[in-house]
Amino acid sequence: LVERMQGFGETIFAEMSALAVRTGAINLGQGFPDEDGPAGVLDAAVEAIRSGGNQYPPGPGLPELREAVAAQRLDRYGLEYDPAIEVFVTVGATEGVAASVLALAGPGDEVIVFEPYYDSYAAVIALAGAVRRPVTLRPVEGRFTFDPDALRAAVGPRTRAILVNSPHNPAGTVFTRDELEAIAGVCREHDLIAITDEVYEYLTFDEAGHIPLATLDGMRERTVSVSSAGKSFSVTGWKTGWVTAPAPHVRAVQTVKQFLTYAVSAPYQRAAAYALRNEIPWVEELRKSLQGKRDRLITGLEAAGFTTYRPQGTYFVQADIRPLGFTDGMELARALPEKAGVVAIPTQVFYDHADAGAHFVRFAFCKKDEVIDEAVERLARLR
Ligand code: PMP
Ligand code: GLN
């Protein structure tokens, strides 16, 4: 393995899902729903296969999906993108983020990330030969946020881009307009590109709503936005995503993407286009249901003795393990199947400053109510 990838090993999701399979524990680790997406979307994929949509699609994606993405950004956020030159399709958001980083940051360049960060960010920044500069999210009044001064201090002469994930995995934070303004201010002042990972754009709770960074003043022209169908339509295995950005950025990112995978599975593109056009009401129901599941899991975790942070979005709750007498989340996560028959993700793996996250584990609530109930019942035996 090349030097720049030393230390990346197996992803924590693979390790913890394998542990769940091996032990038969309830998997509240890797974030994937245990119920299928809308029937119409599943049918659209089957229909696409049956009707002969099985050869290479155009590299930038099927026009019907690019048009559906442009229509979605316009209807929901008032953002205008030309589907012909400002939208393209990627193998999930993961490839969208990877191709963006590889296209926009080179050896020695710096990319700012908010830690705890989604694990693929660190790996693709390393693949690019670039350097990550973490800004730490910390709990303030029950919610993970950052210090704007720390963000400003993270910018240096080699900073090229800021990677922004909101709603944020694993902290559960949905950035407010003020937080986004702080980020936008830094981007404008230092002429930085923002790469936004918006895969949980629909999955926000209570009063929180997703605000794309590109909607802020002066940001559309410098933001590469990434999203995907996986979370919105409960089809995480479909790995169908998209990038929207100004045409020159799209050309740059597309240059990289075409040599990573060339194109994206054609049938899933047809189905994702159908989903964006027809299934937003279904997503609204999913959002409501997930909000209830969040509260259900939090109630159970608190009863079991954890201190929890109520997320404003995503699939995940951060839980502080110290009230139960534990201090190391990695140690606990590895022992949890045996101790309690449950799998969780140790949050420290998403930090450079591992001590800031050593005492958190992440639990997923995108599961059937009875699965959540059984998991918290088991966790209650930890005391
Ligand atoms: N970004 C974040 C923040 C995620 O949580 C995930 C995983 N669900 C992804 C990207 C990956 O998305 P996709 O499966 O579309 O590649
Ligand atoms: N996004 C999912 C999570 O955070 C995992 C996806 C993966 O396995 N890479 O749980």
> Do 266 and 360 share a domain, yes or no?
no
Q: What is the CATH number of the domain that holds 198?
A: 3.40.640.10
Residue numbers of the domain that contains 134:
39-279
Is the confidence metric ipTM above 0.95 for this complex? yes
Closest Cα to atom 3, ligand 2: which residue? Answer: 31
Average pLDDT over residues 182-203: 98
> Do 229 and 301 share a domain, yes or no?
no
Q: What is the CATH number of the domain that holds 11?
A: 3.90.1150.10
> Do 307 and 232 share a domain, yes or no?
no
> Do 240 and 355 share a domain, yes or no?
no
Task: Name the least confident of 8-17, 233-242, 310-319, 360-369.
Answer: 8-17
> Do 28 and 101 share a domain, yes or no?
no
* Residue 230 near ligand 1, beta carbon < 6 Å: yes
Contact predicate 261/269, CB 8 Å: no
For CA atoms 322, 327, 330, 335, give the dihedral sign. negative
> Do 266 and 331 share a domain, yes or no?
no
pLDDT (0 to 100) of residue 250: 98
pLDDT in tens, 296-332: 999 999 999 999 999 999 999 999 999 999 999 999 9
Helix (H) or strand (E) holding 78: none
pLDDT (0 to 100) of residue 383: 87
In this prediction the pTM is 0.98
Contact predicate 213/164, CB 8 Å: yes
**C-alpha 287, offset from chain centre:** 16
Identify the domain boundary among 251, 279, 307: 279
> Do 252 and 104 share a domain, yes or no?
yes
* Residue 170 near ligand 1, beta carbon < 6 Å: no
Helix (H) or strand (E) holding 239: none
Would you say residue 151 has pLDDT above 90? yes
> Whole-angstrom Cα distance, residue 14 to residue 246?
35
For residue 180, give the nearest of 194, 199, 161 by alpha carbon.
Answer: 194
> Which ligand 1 atom is the nearest neighbour of the CA of 236?
14
> Do 216 and 344 share a domain, yes or no?
no
> Whole-angstrom Cα distance, residue 135 to residue 117?
10
Any idea of the CA torsion for 232, 117, 220, 59, to the nearest 10 degrees?
-60
Closest Cα to atom 2, ligand 2: which residue? Answer: 31
Structure tokens that stand for 115 in this block: 């830690």
> Do 94 and 213 share a domain, yes or no?
yes
Average pLDDT over residues 148-152: 98
Would you say residue 354 has pLDDT above 90? no
**C-alpha 252, offset from chain centre:** 22
* Residue 169 near ligand 2, beta carbon < 6 Å: yes
